[in-house]
Amino acid sequence: MQFDIQNTESSALYKLLTGTVIPRPIGWISTIDAEGINNLAPFSFFNVVSEDPPHVMFSTVRTGNKNKDTLNNILDNKQFVVNLVTEEVVEQMNTTSQSVASDIDEFELAGVTPIDAVYIKPKRVKESLVHFECEMVHHYFIENHQNGGACIIIGKIITMHIDDSIVMENHRINLDTYKPVARLAGSNYSKLGEIFSIKRQ
């Protein structure tokens, strides 16, 4: 089947994209507003885009032409933490995916522990095994949209926190201990399945 973008509803495009571009890593993004209220939300339109220097990106939708709290906070202070999601915190992550009022602290809502970052104001999720402290370097609003579009955030990683339990010799990550979770479509997620290796040419 062929789906011309101009003739396909956005809801169908979303299902097709999220059902085919899988699995997707989850950026559990923590921010803070001007009043000091913590915000925590997951984004699966997320990935690393550079290692020299290290940068990540994520995209947040703007349903009804309204910014999510995450986006407003980052545009205001240009800081965020990426907390990566593992099997142990997937339920808490899911709790923070719901839409709540701006004055609700999602750390409290999900029952996770906020701990200080070293260089920026947003808190880290103690229960997460990996945190990237980031500063926004660029943002871009997607134009010509049907229902509000999206905004892409690119952030420079200024420091990484990786739990000792998952770091092996020569800076390799122990996947058996790490146990990351990825996003699929709808309400589906995935764990690591069979792993195979192919030598690079």
Q: Where are the domains of the chain?
A: 25-185
pLDDT digits (tens, 9 = 90+) for 139-181: 999 887 666 789 999 999 999 999 999 999 999 999 999 999 9
**Residue 145: what pLDDT?**
66
Q: What percent of the chain has pLDDT over 70?
A: 99
Average of pLDDT values for 106-130? 98
Q: How far from 29 is each of 43, 125, 161, 196, CA to CA, in Å?
A: 7, 10, 15, 30
Q: Write down the pLDDT at residue 143.
A: 81
Q: Is 192 helix (H, G, I), strand (E, B) or coil?
A: coil
Q: What is the CATH number of domain 25-185?
A: 2.30.110.10
* 157: three-class secondary structure by DSSP: strand
Condensed to tens digits (0 to 9), the pLDDT of residues 48-103 reads: 999 999 999 999 988 777 889 999 999 999 999 999 999 999 999 999 999 999 99
Please compute the mean of the pLDDT values over residues 172-193 and round it to a whole number. Answer: 96
Q: Among 79, 84, 80, 81, which residue's Cα sits nearest to residue 127?
A: 84
Compute the distance between CA of residue 71 and CA of residue 139 in angstroms, rounded to an integer. 10
Q: SS3 letters for 19-72?
A: HHCCCEECEEEEEECCCCCEEEEEECCEEEEEECCEEEEEEEECHHHCCCHHHH
Which of 64 and 115 is assigned the larger pLDDT?
Answer: 115
The pLDDT, as a whole number, for residue 149 is 85
pTM of the model: 0.94
Q: Is pLDDT at 201 greater than 90 in this prediction?
A: no
Q: What is the mean pLDDT of residues 178-201?
A: 95
